[in-house]
Amino acid sequence: MYLEMIRSKVKKDIVIFLHGTPLRLYRVIPLILVFVILLSYNLHAEEKVLFLDSPTDSAIEKQKVELTCRFYGLDIDHIVVEKNKLSKPLFASLIQGKPGAIIITAEALSNLDKKDISSLFINEMNIKTNILIMGLTDSIGNNNLNSWSFASIEGADKLSDNEEDTFFRISDDETDVARELAGQEFPFKDERMHYFLLAKGSRAQTIMGIRRNGQFFPNFIRLTLAKNEIFFLMNMSSHEFVGKVELQQYSDRFIELAPLLMFLRYSLKDYAWHSIRDYANFTIDDSWLIEPYGFLSYSGLLTEMDKADFHTTIAFIPWNFNRSKPQVVSLFQKAPERFSISIHGNDHDHREFYLYKKLPNGVWPEEALNKQEEKIKQAIARMEQFSKKESIPYDKVMIFPHTIAPEMTLDLLKKYDYWATVNTNNIPLGEDTHQDIEFFMRAVTLQFSNFPSVRRFPAYSLLSFDIARELFLDNPLLLYGHHDYFKNGIKEFNKIATMIKQIQPKVKWHSLGSVAKHLYLERLREEGFYEIFSFSNNILLENVHQKGATFYIRKNELSWPPIKRLLVDNKSYPFEWQGNEILIKVFLLPGESVGIQIEHKNDLDLRTVSVAKNSLRIRALRMLSDFRDLIIARTSIGQAFINMHYKNILVIILSMFIIILFSFSIIAVLLFKKNNNES
């Protein structure tokens, strides 16, 4: 029965076009449909967005509304308003469906009878719904703006084109709408930027504006009228929102979508997809448990973590499983809330999870993939031994050495029940790095092998607005560095942790394992019922609400690898299939949580997997890396080499060879002299 219910709730957008046909006839059929759904499943309608545009609007406005509504999982009731077609009674009938928010383009608003507007917004709005008027430019006319804003806006103007640095600045004060974006500045280049001229004594609150040359020009404001709030947004689109972009372009263009995202999240609240809290993690790659590891002092870092309140995960190379020093091990045992371990490759051989080329006949070479499979199994076996020997838990989260593996390797991670993979690029090696802008709005994707692939950022390059954007979008904020990140002192990360806390005081610093277990989105469907979209096969579902609630959990699963069983709190639990998804339902009291795990069928038998370090080549490589990080890095000449050639192991080997040769020559000369003296 609950499957029927959830099925109806996961319905597609209801889009109603009125364009070019008798209005009333068009309304009748879809409205009946809507009401049937509402009655059968007793749904609240707050999750819908009523969107009114006009046939003369540019496609960009519609694209932006569709994109942002899709991001938040909101249904759109789309009405195209032709000249003088939208009368007051019809508008009143449209809002009978109690939309959670109303978005009207400036063009569509111009098609309304001007006299009707004030009574519509104030008198006819017998429901509490926020309204956004978007796509405004100076061509709308000062009179219109003045009357629509109840004399709070005097008019509009346009910035002159020049080369001066221009930023969109989000107000510090409107944190209920701006959330983590409050106080941030986003650089932007566009010649067509319009802004509002606010009237003297205007009641408008500025959410966002343009800062140039010490001056500030509002372009996104709100007004509170009776029960409702009306938001006014100037046109700020310079691009279309279809087509593929790269990560940097997403970062540059995010600000164009930010006002709509702020408006929707603020208006729809828990009905929009969201995470239950904001997570952050700092990962240090490569280090094994020896004090110090190059510039990393574990005890020093623990002191700083206690001061600045953050958590460090070591991306641990499984090859190092049996060489940890008790002094460092005890720190991990004593402070699990500060230190954790995830998996970093297996041998950290440069090519261990590298691209395997297709054979001339177009078939993937089984051999290359088989080798990777062995390494993925060996990594687990070694980490199990490490965990048993040192009594430190580890998380089944894979950080690939150097760069993310190709997609088929992600299949293997899924097969062996890893929880997620975290890398600088979440697009597997060999795949197109151009994706829809929506793809980049989530830090986690299931697009590749249906396995959670999460994006992380180098700690040294992250700017304040990047942090704010990621947290605002409810993405886990994952940062990383190597031991040399601390070359100027062990306090190096404290300033970033402090900046993150300023942007989101409630941020939780956790292990990558805990982040993986919270890779799910939640949305309210009706009082006491939440829908969960899970990205990981291992989640910790929490009821963070004041009342007991039923959770419908959806998890995308492909037919391969087959599911062995589903566990809820370590006990087998029934589930049902719906297309490519499995569905389960659980009830949780307030504050209660439950672990949900999906196990896949595989051939892993740890008793048969060797953990031996047989390869001389790998041993030499690891020893050279140790020499680089533990000895050379701490000399200034060595550091200069490493700064230049960190990634080029050949250059390092060569330079080390020269150093060793040089040292031997000195020793030989000294011995020769000594022998000569003695003789």
First to last CA, the chain: 99
Tell the smallest beta-carbon distance from residue 420 to Zn ion (Å). Answer: 17
For the chain, count helices (H), then strands (E): 20, 30
661's tokens: 């040769």
Tell the smallest beta-carbon distance from residue 402 to Zn ion (Å). Answer: 7
Among 288-296, 325-333, 395-403, 572-580, the segment contacting Zn ion (CB under 5 A): 395-403
> Residue 286 or residue 474: which is nearer to Zn ion going by CB?
286
> Residue 27 or residue 645: which is nearer to Zn ion going by CB?
645
Among 24-32, 75-83, 285-293, 574-582, the segment contacting Zn ion (CB under 5 A): 285-293
Burial label, 346 (beta-carbon count in 10 A; 0-12, 13-18, 19+): buried
Among 279-287, 390-398, 447-455, 468-476, the segment contacting Zn ion (CB under 5 A): 279-287
> Residue 222 or residue 622: which is nearer to Zn ion going by CB?
622
Cα dihedral 30→31→36→39 (10° resolution): 150
> Residue 289 or residue 468: which is nearer to Zn ion going by CB?
289
Q: For the residues of 540-575, what is the DSSP string, one character each?
A: EEE--SSS-EEEEEEEE--SSSPEEEEEETTEE---
Three-class DSSP category at 86: coil
Among 34-42, 62-70, 282-290, 365-373, the segment contacting Zn ion (CB under 5 A): 282-290
List alpha helices for 342-493, DSSP H: 366-390, 407-415, 437-441, 464-472
Tell the smallest beta-carbon distance from residue 401 to Zn ion (Å). Answer: 4
> Residue 273 or residue 339: which is nearer to Zn ion going by CB?
339
User: For Zn ion, what does the binding mask look like between residues 349 and 388, x meaning CB under 5 A?
Assistant: ----------------------------------------
Residue 286 found at the interface with Zn ion (CB under 5 A): yes
Tell the smallest beta-carbon distance from residue 244 to Zn ion (Å). Answer: 30
Q: Do the Cβ atoms of 456 and 284 come closer than 8 Å?
A: no
Distances (CA, A) of 35 to 8, 42, 77, 264: 13, 10, 13, 23
Give dist(CA 195, CA 157) in Å, integer: 6
Give dist(CA 113, CA 94) in Å, integer: 16
> Residue 184 or residue 283: which is nearer to Zn ion going by CB?
283
Give dist(CA 8, CA 41) in Å, integer: 8
Among 7-15, 397-405, 448-456, 644-652, the segment contacting Zn ion (CB under 5 A): 397-405
Residue from 99, 401, 428, 476 binding Zn ion (CB under 5 A): 401
Size of the site for Zn ion (CB under 5 A): 3
> Residue 62 or residue 402: which is nearer to Zn ion going by CB?
402
> Residue 285 or residue 522: which is nearer to Zn ion going by CB?
285
Tell the smallest beta-carbon distance from residue 170 to Zn ion (Å). Answer: 36
Closest CA to 167 of 134, 135, 215: 215
Tell the smallest beta-carbon distance from residue 625 to Zn ion (Å). Answer: 9
Among 100-108, 235-243, 283-291, 328-336, the segment contacting Zn ion (CB under 5 A): 283-291
Among 25-33, 393-401, 501-509, 617-625, the segment contacting Zn ion (CB under 5 A): 393-401
Among 251-259, 277-285, 425-433, 588-596, the segment contacting Zn ion (CB under 5 A): 277-285
Residue from 46, 75, 285, 395 binding Zn ion (CB under 5 A): 285
Give dist(CA 554, CA 520) in Å, integer: 10
Residue 61 found at the interface with Zn ion (CB under 5 A): no
Tell the smallest beta-carbon distance from residue 176 to Zn ion (Å). Answer: 42
Q: Do the Cβ atoms of 568 and 587 come closer than 8 Å?
A: no
> Residue 195 or residue 319: which is nearer to Zn ion going by CB?
319
Tell the smallest beta-carbon distance from residue 482 to Zn ion (Å). Answer: 7
Residue 57 found at the interface with Zn ion (CB under 5 A): no
Q: At 156, which helix (H) or strand (E)?
A: strand 153-158
Tell the smallest beta-carbon distance from residue 387 to Zn ion (Å). Answer: 20
> Residue 148 or residue 319: which is nearer to Zn ion going by CB?
319
**What is the pairing mode between strands 420-423 and 395-398?**
parallel
Tell the smallest beta-carbon distance from residue 398 to Zn ion (Å). Answer: 12
Tell the smallest beta-carbon distance from residue 376 to Zn ion (Å). Answer: 16
DSSP 359: P
- What does residue 16 show for φ and ψ, rounded to 5 degrees? -115, 120
Tell the smallest beta-carbon distance from residue 458 to Zn ion (Å). Answer: 13
Tell the smallest beta-carbon distance from residue 339 to Zn ion (Å). Answer: 18
The amino acid sitting at 18 is: L
Closest CA to 130 of 202, 231, 48: 231
Among 90-98, 255-263, 398-406, 516-524, the segment contacting Zn ion (CB under 5 A): 398-406
- What does residue 162 show for φ and ψ, rounded to 5 degrees? -155, 180
Tell the smallest beta-carbon distance from residue 344 to Zn ion (Å). Answer: 6
- E strands, 431-535, where? 444-445, 453-455, 457-458, 477-481, 508-509, 520-526, 529-534
- What does residue 191 show for φ and ψ, rounded to 5 degrees? -85, -10
Per-residue burial over 30-55, b if 16 or more Cβ lie within 10 Å, else e, is: ebeebeebeeebebebbbbbbbbbbe
Closest CA to 310 of 507, 168, 457: 507
> Residue 261 or residue 633: which is nearer to Zn ion going by CB?
633
> Residue 47 or residue 285: which is nearer to Zn ion going by CB?
285
Closest CA to 264 of 48, 107, 437: 48
Three-class DSSP category at 120: helix
Tell the smallest beta-carbon distance from residue 399 to Zn ion (Å). Answer: 8
Q: Do the Cβ atoms of 110 and 117 come closer than 8 Å?
A: no
> Residue 156 or residue 479: which is nearer to Zn ion going by CB?
479
Among 103-111, 242-250, 400-408, 417-425, the segment contacting Zn ion (CB under 5 A): 400-408
User: For Zn ion, what does the binding mask look like between residues 203 and 222, x meaning CB under 5 A?
Assistant: --------------------
Residues within window 573-612 making contact with Zn ion, judged by CB under 5 A: none
- What does residue 578 show for φ and ψ, rounded to 5 degrees? -140, 100
Residues within window 96-135 making contact with Zn ion, judged by CB under 5 A: none
> What is the contact surface with Zn ion in residues (CB under 5 A)?
285-286, 401
